[in-house]
Structure 1
Amino acid sequence: MALRVAVTLLEKTSLFELAVPCAVFAGEGYELVLCATAPGGEQRAPGGLRLTAERGLDALREADLIVIPACMMDGYEPPGELLDALREAHARGARIASLCSGAFVLAAAGLLDGRPAATHWMYADELRRRYPYVQVDDRSLYVDDGSVLTSAGTAAAIDLCLHIVRGDYGTAAAAEVGRRMVVAPHREGDQTQYAPPGIPAPPSRTEGGPGLAPVLDWALARLHRPLTIGELASRAGMSTRTFGRHFAYEVGATPLKWLNQQRLARARELLETTDLPVDTVAERSGLGSGDSLRQHFHRALATTPGAYRRTFRMAGAAHPAHPAHAAQAHPAHPAHPAS
């Protein structure tokens, strides 16, 4: 059976962060249900809209994954019944994810005490003030702390939801959802949310141009090659120093870290979708030898290429059925995905 996902309708919730899990988890492998958090099944939304749901908080008792979208920050207080339902769901082992300011709901339920948690950087200080026991991370796109996952705002909500799909069904399944949604290539959770102070915006961004996207696409098509930062900078028409600054602004990581992340993602996809030997996977993904690939997998995913392939080839074969074996593979996805 498919994984059951319950998305809560909060009073005056952000429509974008509500739409993201609906778009990601409405496909194969998931059974999506919206549940109201107020009596009557109707919730107010911005712009005078009213949202209705056929289910109430009882849906949380059946869910494998509960997603809390962003809540409005103008005095919203989550209902006590919702907080009780979240505590009960967490106690029985359900995964619970919040998007953007939805972290305030999880914090109110006490589920973030002593945990690292992401939220939009604009709300980080307020989260620290209200809930001093939460280890607030105001830089990461998302944090996976096992049964509790949190994300920053807007596009980071997509990143976290695709990360969940990747953990349930593998890289190829997440990539397919990403292609359907026409989103950027996979971004790791520990990439920064916003530009560090003092780095000016690249001219192409301020002028509405494509920025570094053509260079990233060019590099993705040549991951098997020994690419250098100088080569990428030349492709962008910049000095190496300027390129590094603009790359950090647009991508939120250094060029070398981004290349390693993309090569690891390519290796994971090849292991999931082909029977190529480990040495060939390493070569085609640009990670060199089989020994080098094993080192990357051990450092980043706490597993081996062979074990990863066995887990996610099975998950891919089972898709869209309930991937119980894949859902237990959380060691492959540490709290902060490593480079």
Structure 2
Amino acid sequence: MPVIAVPALDGVPGHQLTGPGVSFGTAVRHHPHIAYEVRYCAGPGFRATGSPAPFRLDTPWGLEGLADADTVLLPGHDGFRAEPPPGVVDALRAAAGRGSRIGAIGTGTFTLAATGLLDGRRAATGRRYAAELAERHPRVEVDPEGSVMDAAPFFSAAGVLGGVDLCLRLITLDHGEAVAVETERQVFLQLHEPAEPAEPATPVAAAVGTAARGGSRLGPTIRWMEAHLDRPLTVHDLADHAGLTVRGLTRRFRTETGLPPLQYLLRARVQRAQRLLERGDEPVERIAARTGLGTPANLRHHFLHHTGTSPRTYRTAFRSLVSTLTWADGRTGEGHPAEAPWADGADPAGSDVRRRTSGRPETNGRTDS
């Protein structure tokens, strides 16, 4: 089982500490074939997380917990401008020497840069700290936007949503985009359980999208189907595209996805409707047409059956939760106001947070780096 070690240094922002557990735990919970162990490791001198709501951490692991980790994720912490606590630099260099992936979140990039491992590589931190990081570590090429930087085996990103995006990037590398997309949805929605428990969503979430990968013999047909969801597709249309009989197509769909073709098609349409609800303001009538579900009543019926909620409630819940996550109440562990996801000094009313949140809806908010 892959081990994700998260070193907790004193004053770590709580959301950066818990973000990896939420992200990787959600991937495991909604995809039975996936396994991760998220291991929290208290660093030297750790007392509690930072404000505005500090909490203590009870863990059997210290820095020795990094010794067999496949991935190390280093959040920010108080005193990030000072020399890293004793043993931290050696532990990170040893992990890199073993071939472990190392990611830094927010001001954790300062600590990772102090090891020299980022010299000559691109890296990111919170946007208001980018210039300072570049000045302190001139051999590091600092991205001013705070986007997820993939300089494998080293990764870095800004805080809050950037940290979640970094985790999703690692999940994508491990298990593909379909798993990461579904994990992202579940992390940001956390809606109530489906109204039809006899037909759980977990296997379906894993199945829809999986067969479109390159190794699947159904891949070309699945991609063609997903590009034409607005059309009234039949099982004969799918069989003709795949060059199979209807019986042969059905057998292959069940083998590769666990679903018959038309059931897979329906689930793909519902998932497309979810994405359109999340990322835009189109009316339900338009979404019903674009997904091939026809009428708003038909969309509502299938959406409720497969997600346990209505399209309107789904969209409202998504916007509300993203808005909550992009506002950090109070002040950071450094005593500064929380950083906004737009550029310093930019007008929030004109900001485009969609660029910062990997396709999530525009939401004006403040984040902590």
Return the TM-score normalized by structure 1.
0.55
SS of 1:80's equivalent in the other structure is coil
Pair 1:106-2:48 in alignment: no
TM-aligned CA deviation for residue 267 of structure 1: 7.6
> Contact conserved, 2:171 with 2:179, CA < 8 A, in 1?
yes
Q: Counterparts of 1:7-46 in structure 2 under 5 Å?
A: 7-26=6-25, 27=28, 28-38=34-44, 42-46=47-51
Pair 1:165-2:171 in alignment: yes
Q: CA 1:34–1:129 in 2, change beyond 3 Å: closer, same or farther?
A: same
Aligned to 1:283: 224
Aligned to 2:212: 270
Return the TM-score normalized by structure 2.
0.50
CA distance in 2, matches of 1:49, 1:175: 31
**Identity of counterpart residues, as a percentage?**
33
1:42-77 Cα offsets, whole Å, 9 max, x none, are 445324532232101111111000000122357554
TM-aligned CA deviation for residue 139 of structure 1: 1.6
Instruction: Select between 266-275 and 168-177 the one with higher mean Cα deviation.
Output: 266-275
> Contact conserved, 1:12 with 1:72, CA < 8 A, in 2?
yes
Pair 1:89-2:30 in alignment: no
CA distance in 2, matches of 1:43, 1:76: 18
SS of 1:35's equivalent in the other structure is strand
Letter in 1 for 2:85: P
Q: How many residues align?
A: 204
SS of 1:182's equivalent in the other structure is helix
Letter in 2 for 1:283: W
Q: CA 1:48–1:69 in 2, change beyond 3 Å: closer, same or farther?
A: closer
Aligned to 2:132: 126
CA distance in 1, matches of 2:178, 2:145: 27
Q: CA 1:277–1:132 in 2, change beyond 3 Å: closer, same or farther?
A: closer
Q: Counterparts of 1:1-339 in structure 2 under 5 Å?
A: 2-26=1-25, 27=28, 28-38=34-44, 42-46=47-51, 47-72=53-78, 75-182=81-188, 270-271=212-213, 275-278=217-220, 280-286=221-227
**CA-atom RMSD in angstroms:** 2.7
TM-aligned CA deviation for residue 146 of structure 1: 1.2
> Contact conserved, 2:50 with 2:77, CA < 8 A, in 1?
no
Q: CA 1:173–1:273 in 2, change beyond 3 Å: closer, same or farther?
A: farther
> Contact conserved, 1:172 with 1:269, CA < 8 A, in 2?
no
TM-aligned CA deviation for residue 24 of structure 1: 1.4
> Contact conserved, 1:171 with 1:272, CA < 8 A, in 2?
no
Aligned to 2:245: none
CA distance in 2, matches of 1:44, 1:268: 38
Aligned to 2:307: none
> Contact conserved, 1:162 with 1:174, CA < 8 A, in 2?
yes
Q: CA 1:74–1:98 in 2, change beyond 3 Å: closer, same or farther?
A: closer
CA distance in 1, matches of 2:141, 2:102: 17
> Contact conserved, 2:211 with 2:219, CA < 8 A, in 1?
no
CA distance in 1, matches of 2:168, 2:71: 14
CA distance in 2, matches of 1:272, 1:23: 29
CA distance in 1, matches of 2:58, 2:227: 49
1:170-189 Cα offsets, whole Å, 9 max, x none, are 223222322321269xxxxx
